[in-house]
């Protein structure tokens, strides 16, 4: 059963469970559905899970950046009157979580990062070559995962539609470039929040050495690995991912 998505004039988000707040932040090509199984398990274990749909395609073009999305998150958290939150971010979502934490350290209690950008990430470059070639986009989407079957036809269709929309692709590239430019290596040693790093051993977008670098630079971090796993552990190993998150959250 899919979870209910709340829509109002400002936001579109999921809000399930009761207890300490954990906000999930999806990646650049991600969606609320990326966390569905994981979210239900974490909520079932005594947490309030909130997943906002990030404004990848709806911000004014000059605000379309990792920093711009972080400012959106500030307003979202403020409007929902949330405090002492844990932020769980995948890929760009992890980067947004880090920027938000740097600017609002008093709000963030814990960080959980999986395949996060902020130090290094491999993208498709400055353009999407052969973006009209469905099989090429399918192959690139499959490359994100260890198991190519995770890239369902529905997911490939979504990516194909996005990269073939001029409006969308301009924003995708603007955000990707802003993330690459915004390296946070100098900021990480000042982030004292307990941090859980959850990484696929076969991640080709933010490879394992990126996780090691995060682990070295973040003063209070724990690092957990997932075998046979690419850039999105919460999609490839949702139950194991959720259980590791719950165990870590309860410990901290």
The H or E element containing residue 23 is strand 21-25
How would you list the strands of the sheet with 221-226, edge to edge?
A: 6-7, 12-16, 48-52, 21-25, 85-90, 108-114, 194-200, 221-226
Q: What architecture is the 6-122+183-251 domain classified under in CATH?
A: 3-Layer(aba) Sandwich (3.40)
Taking only the tens of pLDDT, the chain with its 252 residues reads: 467 899 988 999 999 999 999 999 999 888 888 899 999 999 999 999 999 999 999 998 889 999 999 999 999 999 999 999 999 999 999 999 999 999 999 999 999 999 999 998 776 444 565 778 899 889 988 999 999 999 999 999 998 998 888 888 889 889 988 888 899 999 999 999 999 999 999 999 999 999 999 999 999 999 999 999 999 999 999 999 999 999 999 999
- Contact by Cβ (8 Å): 27, 93: yes
Q: Is the dihedral of CA 230, 147, 69, 36 positive or negative?
A: negative
Residues in CB range of 100: below 8 A, 6 or more apart:
70, 73, 74, 77, 87, 107, 108
Give the pLDDT of residue 133: 87
Which sequence spans correspond to the domains of the chain? Answer: 6-122+183-251
The helix (H) or strand (E) run that includes residue 113 is strand 108-114
Q: What pLDDT score was predicted for residue 2?
A: 67
Identify which of 82, 79, 21, 23 has the alpha carbon closest to the alpha carbon of residue 48: 21
Q: Is 90 exposed, middle or buried (0-12, 13-18, 19+ CB in 10 A)?
A: buried
Phi then psi for 13, rounded to 5 degrees? -160, 165
- Write down the H helix ranges in the chain: 36-44, 66-79, 92-103, 134-142, 153-163, 166-181, 208-217, 233-236, 238-251
Predicted TM-score (pTM) of this structure: 0.94
């Amino acid at each position: 059963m899919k979870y209910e998505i709340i829509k109002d004039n400002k936001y579109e988000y999921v809000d399930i469970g009761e207890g300490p707040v954990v906000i999930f932040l999806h990646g650049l090509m991600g969606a609320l559905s990326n966390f569905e199984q994981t979210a239900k398990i974490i909520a079932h274990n005594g947490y309030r899970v909130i997943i906002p749909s990030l404004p990848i395609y709806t911000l004014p073009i000059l605000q379309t950046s990792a920093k711009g999305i972080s400012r959106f998150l500030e307003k979202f958290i403020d409007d929902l009157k949330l405090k002492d939150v844990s932020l769980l971010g995948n890929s760009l979502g992890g980067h947004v979580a880090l920027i938000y934490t740097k600017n609002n350290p008093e709000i963030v209690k814990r960080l959980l990062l999986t395949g996060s950008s902020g130090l290094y990430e491999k993208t498709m470059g400055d353009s999407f070559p052969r973006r009209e070639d469905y099989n090429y986009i399918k192959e690139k989407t499959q490359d994100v995962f260890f198991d190519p079957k995770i890239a369902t036809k529905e997911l490939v269709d979504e990516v194909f539609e996005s990269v073939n929309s001029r409006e969308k692709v301009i924003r995708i590239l603007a955000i990707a470039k802003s993330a690459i430019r915004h390296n946070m290596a100098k900021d990480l040693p000042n982030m004292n929040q307990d941090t859980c790093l959850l990484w696929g051993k076969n991640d080709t977008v933010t490879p394992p050495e990126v996780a090691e670098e995060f682990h070295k630079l973040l003063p209070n971090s724990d690092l957990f690995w997932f075998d046979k796993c690419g850039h999105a552990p919460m999609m490839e190993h949702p139950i194991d991912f959720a259980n590791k998150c719950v165990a870590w959250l309860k410990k901290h």
